[in-house]
Structure 1
Amino acid sequence: MSCRGVKFRGTIDVSNLSDENDEDDLDICVALCKDQPNTPLLELMKTSGVQEVRRVLGEYVRRLKSGSQMVDSCCGGKFQLLDGSISGQFTQLVPDKRIDMKWRFRTWPSNHYASVSLELDDRGDDTELRLECRGVPLGEEDSTREGWTRFYFRAIKQTFGY
């Protein structure tokens, strides 16, 4: 049976992608969407496809770990994260209370910065973190929100368990 020109829809779920897990430890689940017909492609994806996904994600995590980072943690200090994908400058630092910064993603228009405020509220047994981000370029709002959620807040949750 030839599958040329035929498209199938499915999902690849990686539930434990983390810098703490080796690529061989990744839990990868491949499935066809419920409305899709059975195909030999599914078995191929579950074997060779999963190995390729592991390889690519392993390389991605290695690049994140080895990406140059620089943080000058003083008011007016500059920072660069994820091998230059994120950069900016601290505009206000109030210990244990607030961090204000000019923040940008590399793919944004040149010299375009958003204003980001992180406010910390000590509540005894826990700390509430509030984020305000203004000035994101039009059309970049959803991807910026997803980036903060995925790379910052989920990472905090995974690291500290809440």
Structure 2
Amino acid sequence: MAKWGQGDPRWIVEEREDGTNVNNWHWTERDATVWSKGKLRELLVGIAMENEAGRCEISELKQVEGTVKESGAKHKGLIEIPNLSEENDVDDTEVNVSKKKGDGDILKDLMKTTGTAKVREALGEYLKALKTEFTAGMILPTRAVTTQELTVERTLAENSLQVQASPVALGVRIPTVALHLTELFDTTVEQLYSIFTVKDLVQKFSKSPAVLEAEKGGKFQMFDGNITGEYVELLTNRKIIMKWRCRNWPEEHYATVALNFVPAPGQTELQLDCKGVPVCKEENTKFCWQKQHFEEIKGLLQLTTQNA
């Protein structure tokens, strides 16, 4: 029998991208700051406006440069977008331009007319990308699902782009399956129940250190941390319900495991129901319970009988 995590390809699997969730909805927070700076720079820098009076161009996220055609004078100004929000119409977004005094006012007027329209168009593309590129592979929840709305404010300030964004709640739906297994053990209900709730016995059948708090809300860790979870309910010698996960499952994803201990003549039937197993982990989970749990427990019971 291979030790836990060693020698069996059914258990040792590489991380896969076809599951990231908690019971079909897993909310996460993502910081849009770095992505937004790059996307805004890509869309805004280089936008140019020109008329008979002059030409100006957004040279940096914070800066506009222009030339007055009649005098050839060059001017620089600052551009600011104070209230960009996903909830507001992009046509209502303010685009403010400031500059030092001088004949460069004609460039400022050019930015406030033609320039504002072009900037708003680019910001519309940014907001679309925020919902698609930034959230690639994810499904944004509707307001019916969560009251945490997506609100994003962008400020192009004097020295740097300042991004103020509330955390975005994102969810991904993954396919899961339910497992139902039954196994007969040549022991009493009391002894089999204790094998799942007494630390020393867990360490014996798992052949590895364990952490066990066998009470409602108590945590457990087995097989060198490959299995972790929490006890949801314990009915002595009758039933155990747990939040249960394997280390190589999607982060923070737990299945719900119910163990029912049913007495039979000279034996105990263990009925296992496991809901919320990622489809891609179904075979590994079966192997875990049948080989790493059931067979090892039977080996421990046999050894105990021989030494009695």
- TM-score of the alignment, normalized to the shorter chain, above 0.5: yes
Structure 1 residue matching 2:249: 3-state secondary structure: coil
> 2:217 and 2:263 mapped to 1: Cα distance?
25
Helix, strand or coil: the match of 2:273?
strand
One-letter identity of the residue aligned with 1:81: M
Distance apart, 1:148 and its partner CA = 0.6
Q: Does 1:137 align with 2:286?
A: no
Cα offset for 1:147?
1.0
Is 1:93 matched up with 2:234?
yes
Aligned residues: 100
- Choose from 276, 290, 304 the match for 1:149: 290
Paired residue type of 2:238: K
The one-letter amino acid of 1:130's match is: Q
SS in 2 for 1:157: helix
Task: After superposition, give the CA deviation of every residue in 1:42-84 in whole Å (9 maximum; x if it has no partner).
Answer: xxxxxxxxxxxxxxxxxxxxxx74x442000001100001111
Structure 2 Cα separation of the partners of residues 70 and 86 of structure 1 = 10
- Structure ID, larger Rg: 2
Tell me by how many angstroms 1:129 deviates.
0.6
- Structure with larger RCO (C-alpha < 8 A, sep 6+): 2
Task: Show the counterpart of 1:73.
Answer: 214
Return the offset for 1:124.
4.5
**CA distance in structure 2 between the aligned counterparts of 1:129 and 1:68, rounded to whole angstroms:** 24
Q: Distance in 1 between matches of 2:301 and 2:223?
A: 21
Distance 1:85 1:95 in 2: 26
Scaled by the length of structure 1, the TM-score of the pair is: 0.57
Unmatched segments (≥5 aa) in structure 1? 1-16, 20-63
What is the CA-CA distance between 1:109 and the residue it aligns to?
Answer: 0.8
Shift of 1:108: 0.6
Partner letter of residue 256 of structure 2?
A: S
- State yes or no: 1:105 paired with 2:266: no
How do 1:1-162 residues align onto structure 2 when only pairs under 5 Å count?
A: 17=1, 65=207, 67-161=208-302
- TM-superposed CA distance for 1:18, in Å, is 7.6
State the superposition RMSD in angstroms. Answer: 1.8
- DSSP 3-state at the match of 2:277: coil
Matched position secondary structure for 1:108: coil
Relative distance call for 1:18 and 1:109 in structure 2 (3 A) is closer
Q: CA deviation at 1:158?
A: 2.0
Q: Tell me, what secondary structure is at the counterpart of 1:135?
A: strand
Q: Name the structure 2 match of 1:30.
A: none
Tell me, which stretches of 5 or more residues in structure 2 are unaligned? Answer: 4-205, 303-308
Kindly provide the amino acid, as one letter, of the partner of residue 125 in structure 1. G
